[in-house]
Structure 1
Amino acid sequence: MDALRTTPTPRTTPDLPLHRLQVPLPHLLPFAIGSFDTIGPLSRAGFPHRHSFYEIVHVTGGRGAHVLDLVHRPLAPPQLCVITPGQVHYWSDADELTGQVVLFNEDFLLRNPQDLAALRTLATRPALGLGEQAGPIGALLADMEHEYCSRQPGYQGVLRASLHILIVRALRAGRPGERQSPPGRPTEVASAFTRLIAGPGGVRYSVASSAQELGVSPGHLQTLVKQATGRTPGGLIRRQQTLEAKRLLACTDLTIRQVSKEAGFADPAYFCRFFRRETGMTPGEFRARVDGNHHDPRIASIAAAPDCP
């Protein structure tokens, strides 16, 4: 049975097609792993769409490219592609894809803010070369697939622990030799903040409303996020608003006024000034340039976000 289903929406509505995780009984876990064939045809969808879940794709073979938040990267197996909820991605001219697809919801993750933050870091790259981690990651994923299919006693715990190890090894592949920062209050708050503004309706959060949602003062939020990320909460909110606007301009037929509203702006004129300040282009210029040209640095710059905590 396919593990993915989609909620189709007309192209002229604010929402892109949304893929949801559908796990068949008797697993009852918000988790699935398998090949592109066993997960289903939507695992290699060639049209822009979003996910309501996390996806880690281990590509071991095939041709084509992966496009993540407008950044187009030709496939060069073995590699990992990490997609977080809300990101827009698709496979371009992909053929004969092989490997494993791992799907899971946030509540399946270990209660460790480092894992969520790490996934957001990894998702800033359309493709992650594995280097010396290729062997260990391949063996780990094969073991995870066996655990998932055999469902031996305790398999849920094995899968959760293995997922944590997979995330750590993926970080090592992206940052060879670099030590990871220890967990702590600044990291926890900053991770919760970045998830909040990247989630549904996140572009409508201000620094003050974000602080209220997280149970801290705006000044304390400013200090903790700056300490953990090197950026201010306001700067991260502006980056998220710009990214959401880029997604909608590139992947829907919404008017500039509609994009402005969906990106969290009440005044379309202010949105146009904001977008030009952040990208160097008006929304209309960006939409005209983005079609078929993901290599313009002004188009790709927002997707190449700095590492999250």
Structure 2
Amino acid sequence: MDRLRNTRLPDLPLHRLEVPLPHLLPFAIGTFDTIGPLSRASFPHRHTFYEIVHVTGGSGAHVLDLVRRPVEPPQLCVITPGQVHHWDEADRLTGHVVLFNEDFLLPHADDAAALRLLAGRPGHPAGDQAAPIAALLADMGEEYRELRPGYQNVLRACLHILIARASRTLGRTGDAPDAACGEGAAGEATAGAARDRATELASAFGRLLCEPEGAGRSVGWYARELGVSVGHFQTLVRRATGRSPGSLIRQQQTLEAKRLLSGTDMTVRQISYAAGFSDAAYFCRFFRRETGMSPGEFRARTAGRNHHDPRIESIAAHQDGP
């Protein structure tokens, strides 16, 4: 099984995270080598997942949404779903690569906002957090390899701490993205104006979408709330994220349903209403279409009844082989 799948869109490749049991562990951690060549891809592409990279060695540059930052270890790079990035002339990159889907943020939904802020930079110094982050990543890597009892909870807790420590690296001046570096900075700034508008609107959409009742709202409601036409709203969100507003709403509905199924004793009918559905039967069909399983099956599996190895195949092989 491939670690990352390269799916071709009309304009850019789209990488998806594939793990053997995404409903159990939508997460992976490893080095550039164990994750695979796509972890240091030299061509512009998007992700459907989050990526946190702690670079400890190597040379080249990281380019995120047209902004180029030379590799200067120790350095942090955060990429959120929909952003366009690649590695330029990267050589002998070392460090840890953490990949995870939105599902892995279930216990700490506010972490998504912190990740969006961190992703405003193509790469920045780890500063006095470099040693604690390296130690934390080493511990996470061991948990991922060993799969000891309770490893899912440990990894989720560690990810929450990792995001908090990464946020400290921004400092008081970290609220604004870095300026473009090197040749072509003026051109990138000009090209960035339209991108910034799309990013700003998509971020506002994301904040509204994360509100408790957000998943039940329509595309039209969001467009009106943000003061744009439906057509313009769809264009800008797709430009910023590579996805339609409708698909992001469905993702949020699915995520909210997963949170409630895994973390509460609510009935499926109650959860369907909380996720924005008026018909429980339709919700069940929707959930199966989005996840490949019924709400009941998802609840049973996340209760720990499935004991297959959930790691990315290459990392498991790297650990268990000769």
* TM-score for both structures, normalised by structure 1: 0.59
**CA deviation vs aligned residue, 1:254-307 (integer Å, no higher than 9, x gap):** xxxxxxxx99xxxxxxxxxxxxxxxxxxxxxxxxxxxxxxxxxxxxxxxxxxxx
2:206 to 185, 189, 194: 194
Q: Which amino acid letter does the alignment assign opposite residue 170 of structure 1? A: A
1:82 to 78, 81, 91: 78
Q: Is the 8 A contact 2:45 2:85 kept in 1?
A: yes
CA distance in 1, matches of 2:111, 2:54: 18
**CA deviation vs aligned residue, 1:149-187 (integer Å, no higher than 9, x gap):** 000000000000000000000101112699xxxxxxxxx
**CA deviation vs aligned residue, 1:7-30 (integer Å, no higher than 9, x gap):** 134xxx2x4101010114699410
What is the Cα-based RMSD across aligned positions, in Å?
Answer: 3.7
Q: Is the 8 A contact 1:61 1:97 kept in 2?
A: yes
Is 1:209 aligned with 2:216? no
Is 1:96 aligned with 2:108? no
Q: Is the 8 A contact 1:69 1:247 kept in 2?
A: no
Q: Is the 8 A contact 1:207 1:234 kept in 2?
A: no
Q: Is the 8 A contact 1:60 1:79 kept in 2?
A: yes
Q: 2:148: which partner in 1?
A: 152
Q: 2:260: which partner in 1?
A: none
Q: Is the 8 A contact 1:206 1:234 kept in 2?
A: no
Q: Is the 8 A contact 1:2 1:40 kept in 2?
A: no
Is 1:8 aligned with 2:8? yes
2:52 to 39, 45, 56: 56
How far has the Cα of 1:3 moved from its partner? 2.2
Q: Structure 2 regions of 5+ residues with no counterpart? A: 175-201, 210-216, 246-322
CA distance in 2, matches of 1:44, 1:106: 22
CA distance in 1, matches of 2:81, 2:106: 17
CA distance in 1, matches of 2:117, 2:22: 33
Structure 1 residues 208, 247: CA separation in 2 closer, same or farther (over 3 Å shift)? closer
Q: Is the 8 A contact 1:31 1:103 kept in 2?
A: yes
CA distance in 1, matches of 2:239, 2:67: 15
CA distance in 2, matches of 1:148, 1:36: 16
How far has the Cα of 1:112 moved from its partner? 2.8
Q: Is the 8 A contact 1:81 1:123 kept in 2?
A: yes
How far has the Cα of 1:243 moved from its partner? 8.5
CA distance in 2, matches of 1:123, 1:31: 19
Structure 1 residues 27, 240: CA separation in 2 closer, same or farther (over 3 Å shift)? closer
Q: Is the 8 A contact 2:65 2:85 kept in 1?
A: yes
Q: Which amino acid letter does the alignment assign opposite residue 83 of structure 2? A: Q
How far has the Cα of 1:193 moved from its partner? 2.8
Q: Which amino acid letter does the alignment assign opposite residue 89 of structure 2? A: D
- Taking only the aligned residue pairs, the percentage that are identical comes to 66
Structure 1 residues 177, 210: CA separation in 2 closer, same or farther (over 3 Å shift)? closer
How far has the Cα of 1:234 moved from its partner? 4.3
Q: 2:277: which partner in 1?
A: none
Q: Structure 1 regions of 5+ residues with no counterpart? A: 179-189, 198-204, 213-217, 219-232, 249-261, 264-309
Q: Is the 8 A contact 2:82 2:240 kept in 1?
A: no
Is 1:161 aligned with 2:157? yes
Is 1:36 aligned with 2:32? yes
Q: Which amino acid letter does the alignment assign opposite residue 193 of structure 1? A: F
Q: 1:107: which partner in 2?
A: 103
Q: How many residues align?
A: 210
How far has the Cα of 1:129 moved from its partner? 1.0
How far has the Cα of 1:241 moved from its partner? 5.6
How far has the Cα of 1:88 moved from its partner? 0.4
CA distance in 1, matches of 2:121, 2:104: 23
